[in-house]
Amino acid sequence: MAQACEKTLTLEEISVPGYEKIIRVLNVEVGLHAIICIHSSVIGPALGGIRIYPYPNEEIALKDVMRLAKAMTYKSLLSECSWGGGKAVIIADPKVGKTKELLSAFAEAVHQLKGEYICAEDVGCSPEDVLLISKTTPYVVGLPHEKSSGNPAVFTAWGTFRGIQSALKKIYNSSDLEGRKIAIQGIGAVGFELAKLLFWSGAHLIISDLDQKRCLELQQLTGAVILSVEEILKAECDVLAPCAMGGVLNSRTIPLLRCLAVAGCANNQLLNGSDADELASRGILYAPDFIINAGGLINVSLELEAEGYSPIRARNRVNRIYDQLMVIYDIAEQNRFSTHRAALSLGDYRLKYQIGKRIEPPYFHHASLN
């Protein structure tokens, strides 16, 4: 079923079993080709970021947005945020194809969904971009002004930092980072902030990124050792922190790992669910990505509460990622299966019994500023 909006914008539903709603969004005049995916709204309206990326084709983009939206469902369930899982991808190069007209057209598509999907920044999409989107629709969070939470990267980094501490606690019975070797694959907005937190806590850093200039900048700040993107997977370390794109943990890379734990902020780190079993069989502790990287979601979600956004409440909520991961480690150990399976099982239980289901509607405090 296709729906035309203002002649040039077309919304077409794609039916996929297991997903509530997937919408193909097209506007040929401005070069917009996007997909909005709502995995589940059982607990609350779907909330998730907009990823702007030059996917080779729609099939790959669809596969990615479906994985990301499903991860958002479990991220919300396990962080007790009371939101559903959603995500959007715009097939474009953010460096050259991200125009004001394209973002405005996408915003109109979000508005047509009448709050079923609430968007935020993600890879390739900045707080300034979502501010522009907010001129067309109120269904957006993470704006850079006083009634919003702004860029969630710092909170995602802090949650990942706490997750690394939880892994060390499980392995060594101490969360102290002094002298620990942490290998960070990907030093984008979150990875860079994470590296600084780890450095000031006494960790020895090993880093990699395709952007060598950024690596050198971080090396100057922290004394980090720089390796290639492939070599860092073989680095001997206490914790490997994947902080780039997904699928890095797979049948080819897992045998190369020389770490005791994997705990990073990248989404969909496992190429397949079975890869978690391979990690477990090697005795490598895995912090499920949709728990450890929930700091950004927790941060932006708080601005939709009746009392409005508070960085103090956000920090305190993000701190709980440590405890949530410790529970998952214990469940996995007691049942002798992977931490990934433990996290999914707990999420499925909460979804089945609608634990944490949202009662109050979201409050868009920023709407009064537009």
Max Cα-Cα span within the chain: 62
Q: Which helix (H) or strand (E) holds 13?
A: strand 9-14
Burial (CB count within 10 angstroms: exposed 0-12, middle 13-18, buried 19+), residue 180: buried
| Residue 87 bears catalytic tag | yes
How crowded is residue 146: how many other Cβ atoms within 10 Å of its Cβ?
11
For 121-217, where are the E strands, in sequence order?
181-185, 204-208
Q: Please name the amino acid found at residue 32.
A: L
Residue 96: which residues within 8 A CB-CB, separation 6 or more? none
Count other Cβ atoms within 10 Å, centred on residue 218.
Answer: 22
**DSSP result, 69-113:** HHHHHHHHHHHT---EEEEEEEES-TTTT--HHHHHHHHHHHHHT
Write the DSSP assignment of 194-237 as a string of letters.
HHHHHHHTTPEEEEE-S-HHHHHHHHHHH-PEE--TTGGGG-EE
Pairing of strands 204-208, 181-185: parallel
d(CA 247, CA 234) in angstroms, rounded, equals 16
Burial of 270 (0-12, 13-18, 19+ CB in 10 A): buried
Nearest C-alpha neighbor of 84 from the set 52, 51, 34, 118 = 118
Cα separation, 196 vs 287, in Å, equals 20
* Through-space distance between the first and last CA atoms of the chain, rounded to whole angstroms: 33
Cβ within 8 Å of residue 180, ≥6 positions away: 168, 202, 203, 204, 238, 239
Bin 32: left if φ > 0, else alpha if -120 < ψ < 50, else beta.
Answer: beta
- Of 87, 147, 170, 234, which one is the catalytic site residue? 87
The catalytic residues are 87
